[in-house]
Amino acid sequence: MQQKLKTQITKQKILEAAEEEFSALGFAAARVDQIAASAGVNKQMIYAHFESKEGLYRAVLEAVYARLTEEQSRIAAGGYMGRESIAEVIENSFCFLRQNPHFVRLMMWENLSGGAHAELLHIRLFEGAACLLRKGMEKGEIRADLDVDQTVMSLNMFCFSAFSNVHTLSKLLQKDLLTDKALSERAQHITRVFMRYIFGD
């Protein structure tokens, strides 16, 4: 039991160090030697747990995606409680990205590579949000013509672009879009837009 716990702790240290390295440099430029040094382990330990640099990278991607799906599943588990449930999903989608900057950077790197590793992931996206939207439609509270798949993809893209483009937009607009005030205003705007669209207000 003690050995199993030690193994889990070691793997977690490796994943945390790898997430830092991959998010900063991308898959190609990241170095296993540096990940091992940051995690305080022998490089061979990484290969023992993850087989290869690519295996480690996929494990990191799955871990960061799992955080998002777990958060949405948590909200969906509470059941559909009207407009408040949908507002919470929208707000949490934005807050998740705000609290997980590595997720944003990793997805940007992965897109630059043409999604080279994404097809190998075992992740089912947006199920929590989609589930609540369908329940709202069943109750007749959400517009009947709502395309659930398109809506959850649009929500993801609206929220993601607020962080993926924040540095260039801040320079071009000469306004710091990373302040608490600016991020709160953006989150509120996105929530209002989607609530009006979803409920047909």
Region 1-51: CATH code: 1.10.10.60
pLDDT at residue 38 in the model: 95
CATH superfamily of 61-199: Tetracycline Repressor, domain 2 (1.10.357.10)
Q: Is the pLDDT of residue 131 over 80?
A: yes
Please state, in angstroms and rounded to a whole number, the distance separating the CA atoms of residues 16 and 63.
Answer: 10
Cα–chain center distance at 125:
10
Q: Is the pLDDT of residue 119 over 80?
A: no
Question: How many CA atoms lie within 13 Å of 164's alpha carbon, on the beta-carbon side?
Answer: 16
**Domain ranges across the chain:** 1-51, 61-199
Widest CA span in the chain: 58
pTM of the model: 0.83
Q: Is the pLDDT of residue 106 over 90?
A: yes
Region 52-58 average pLDDT: 94
Cα–chain center distance at 5:
27
Q: Is the pLDDT of residue 23 over 80?
A: yes
Cβ neighbours, 10 Å, residue 181: 9
Q: Is the pLDDT of residue 1 over 60?
A: no
* Opening angle at CA 23, ends 176 and 19, nearest 5: 125
pLDDT at residue 92 in the model: 87
* Span 29-44, pLDDT tens digits: 999 999 999 999 999 9
What is the DSSP code string of 1-42?
-HHHHHHHHHHHHHHHHHHHHHHHHHHHH--HHHHHHHHTS-
Q: Cβ distance 103 to 22 under 8 Å? A: no
Higher pLDDT, 121 or 70: 70
Cβ neighbours, 10 Å, residue 11: 18
pLDDT at residue 151 in the model: 95
Of the pLDDT bands very low, low, confident and very high (cuts 50, 70, 90), residue 123 is low
pLDDT at residue 120 in the model: 64
* Span 142-195, pLDDT tens digits: 999 999 999 999 999 999 999 999 999 999 999 999 999 999 999 999 999 999
Closest CA to 109 of 53, 164, 169, 34: 164
